[in-house]
Amino acid sequence: MMIYKGKALKYGDNIDTDVIIPARYLNTTDPKELAEHCMEDLDLNFKEKVKEKDILVVGENFGCGSSREHAPIAIKASGVKCIIAKSFARIFYRNAINIGLPILEISEAVDRINEGDELEVDFDKGVLKNLTTGETFTTFPFPPLIQEIIKKGGLINFARERVKGGSL
Q: Give per-residue pLDDT as tens, 135-168.
A: 999 999 989 999 999 999 999 999 998 887 666 5
CA distance linking residue 113 with residue 6, whole number of Å? 13
CATH number of 3-165: 1.10.10.10, 3.30.360.10, 3.20.20.120, 3.20.19.10?
A: 3.20.19.10
CA distance linking residue 118 with residue 115, whole number of Å? 9
Q: What are residue 42's phi and psi, to 5 degrees?
A: -100, -40
Orientation angle between helical segments 70-77 and 90-98, nearest 10 degrees: 60
Q: Is the pLDDT of residue 18 over 60?
A: yes
CB atoms within 10 A of CB 27: 7
Which of 150, 1, 34, 157 is CA-nearest to residue 83?
Answer: 150
- Region 15-24: mean pLDDT is 95
